Amino acid sequence: MAEPLLDIRGLKTWFKTDDGMVRAVDGVDLRIDRGETVGVVGESGCGKTVTARSVLKLIDMPPGRFEAGEIRWQGRDLIPLDEAEMNKIRAREIAIIFQEPMTSLNPVYTVGDQIAEVIALHQKLSTKQAMAGAVEMLKLVNIPNPERRVTDYPHQFSGGMRQRVMIAMALSCQPKLLIADEPTTALDVTIQAQILELMHEMKDRFGMAIMLITHAMGVVAETCQRVTVMYAGKVVEEAPVEALFGDPRHPYTQGLIRSIPRVDRGAEKKQRLEAIPGTVPSLLNPPQGCRFASRCKYVMDVCTQAMPPLKEVAPGHRVACVL
Amino acid sequence: MSRQYIIRRLLITIPSLLGISIVLFAILALAPGDPFEELATNPAVPPEVRAALRAKFGLDDPVWTRYLHWLGAMIQGDWGFSFASRMDVDTLILQRLPTTLIVIGSSQVIAILVALPVGVLAATRPYSLFDQIANTLAFVGFSLPTFFTGLLFILVFSIQLDWLPFVYRADIAGSGWPWLWAHIKQSIMPVMVLGLFQGASLVRFVRSSVLDVIKLDYVTTARSKGIGERKVITKHVVRNALIPVVTLVALQMPIVFGGAIVTEQIFRVPGIGSLLISAMLANDTPVVMAVTFVIACLVVIFNLIADILYGWLDPRISFR
């Protein structure tokens, strides 16, 4: 098998707080191959975003720190790199878009300035050439009237349009990996579909890989080839998308899939949407055994003693459960 | 930024200045005291003379007639006549105003030049040694009132060390570099006293403003672009953080003038502040009215500058 584009091994990103160490990401393995779309799912606070930001080293240190693990980017570990070397990778090789398009753009500069800034920096172009590049990018993400809109400020764009601008900015240097941190969560449903469609289109065009962080299982089913399910800072299941939806092994994954609202077994059949009872354990003092044990309906004695390691149950399908 | 925005701001200053002048005039009219008081106790001046003088200056008219009279004259450039100094108020003010503006202006410039980098540096390294020292000094700076630091400076730099003169003289003879140097030397202490006080609170404000901005999403976006940390701070953080700072500087202008009046008294600076104090003591109402009105105008002008700066810093404002 060829060398993966991104290979995260045993990553631990911890945060020092007044109450102790918060183990936000506690031993995560994640692999992304070239041109592949990998979904990272899990509920709020499970460490998805921290994992994503760790890749670009956008975590404030302190309070955060890399406790252990490697982030291998095309074979090279990113963790020991200094800021100057990271800055050569950011945007040029790995780009990121965020959850909140409303606040992700600087309100005092025009969108053109903000896109051109990346282009001028990484492609060593003059401001004028970079501006032309910015117009080109806006056209690519289907913003009407790009020549005129390029001199507009972010507040003159709607949320969906701003996310398009963010995508234009992220793709302006043709990165090999786009990290999309809940790119559609803050948008309304029709716009969500448009943005996902756009990301697809861009992926086909540039052949980049996408790490799609989301808690919407429906989005995952539609867009991803492989899925990693995270729970309380750990990976609990990893599988190709068909296997995950067809044969979910971990009780948490099963719960997630059952909690997707479905029209065909909705209100008429008086079937209630299933929720996973309980809440995520504190990451300050995580339980010793399986972190899902307190909410799992199949819980056994062995579950509270040690966290089961990820084991392969089918080709490419790994799960961290004793079942 | 549009021209309309500036014109609109300029037009708003007219009603505010009118309002200010009405309030000032009403308060002065209510205040006890008579500019011709000393004539009443002087046996050589018959009471009729005093009454005639009062009538001549319109002091017995109802308040609103006097106000309209004052306003009409003011608009035509006649600022009134000082009873105490026996000269035109405008000449009096023009003599004193430049000194005050130089002292206040340079103290503000120094305060901003020091506070901006210190506040930004402190915020980018929160709780570091530099931050702790900057915070402590800032706290000391704005806890000490200017009349205290003023006296302290005089004690140390003039009396103990004998480096600087403690009386400000407007009539220094000479020319060229020695003359300029003498002026600078005597300005150092008043400028420092005012600048320290202003700079101290500004440091705290810049620091907290930068800390607020540095956590925002678009700063993370900027970092993810791979532009260096220095450029992230100077280009993406500072400009946004300055927006509330501009408000603070503008809002503090009245306090600055208040502080300047006290400081001018301490160092005997012949500025507009000491003119105001002596005019008040002499019940010289035309001068008091004119000086307070000039200060009000300056405050309004600084607010106008702040509004324009605002529109320049934040494109969302001028488009609204």
User: What is the token pair recorded at A187?
Assistant: 């948008």
Surface of B (128-167) touching A: CB under 8 A: none
Q: pLDDT tier at B312 (50, 70, 90 boundaries)?
A: confident
Residue A312, classed as helix, strand or coil, is strand
The reply to whether B110 touches chain A by the CB within 8 Å rule is no
Sheet with A311-314, edge to edge strand ranges: A94-97, A177-181, A209-214, A37-41, A226-231, A234-240, A317-319, A311-314
Verify whether the Cβ–Cβ distance B224 to A122 is below 8 Å. no
Verify whether the Cβ–Cβ distance B226 to A92 is below 8 Å. yes
Q: Do the Cβ atoms of B146 and B193 come closer than 8 Å?
A: yes
Amino acid identity of A36? E
Distance from CA of A163 to the nearest CA of B (A): 12
Q: What are A181's strand-pairing partners?
A: A213
pLDDT of residue B320: 47
- What are the chain A neighbours of B217 within 8 Å (beta carbons)? 98, 100, 103-104
Chain A nearest-CA residue for B310:
A108
Q: What are A17's strand-pairing partners?
A: A20
Reading chain A (323 residues) residue by residue, the pLDDT tens digits are 578 888 888 888 888 888 888 888 888 888 888 888 999 988 887 888 888 888 888 888 778 888 888 888 888 888 888 888 888 888 888 999 888 888 899 999 999 999 999 898 888 888 888 888 889 889 888 888 888 999 899 989 988 889 889 988 988 888 889 999 888 887 888 888 888 888 888 888 888 999 999 888 888 888 889 999 988 888 888 889 888 888 888 888 888 888 777 766 655 555 666 777 777 777 787 777 788 887 887 878 778 777 888 888 888 888 888 77
- What are the chain A neighbours of B229 within 8 Å (beta carbons)? 83
Verify whether the Cβ–Cβ distance B220 to A106 is below 8 Å. no
Q: Do the Cβ atoms of B137 and B177 come closer than 8 Å?
A: no
Nearest to A90 among B226, B240, B313 (CB): B226
ipTM for the predicted complex comes to: 0.84
- For an interface test with B, the pick among A108, A113, A182 (most B C-beta atoms closer than 10 Å) comes out as A108
> Structure pTM?
0.80
Q: Check whether B37 has a pLDDT greater than 80.
A: no
Q: Check whether B191 has a pLDDT greater than 80.
A: yes
Rounded to an integer, what distance in angstroms lies between the CA atom of residue A223 and that of residue A197?
9
Q: Check whether B308 has a pLDDT greater than 60.
A: yes
pLDDT of residue B116: 92
- For an interface test with A, the pick among B2, B218, B236 (most A C-beta atoms closer than 10 Å) comes out as B218
pLDDT of residue A184: 82
Average pLDDT of the residues of chain B = 84
Verify whether the Cβ–Cβ distance A58 to B221 is below 8 Å. no
Distance from CA of A148 to the nearest CA of B (A): 16
Verify whether the Cβ–Cβ distance A105 to B221 is below 8 Å. yes
User: What is the token pair recorded at A186?
Assistant: 């803050």
Q: Check whether B38 has a pLDDT greater than 70.
A: no
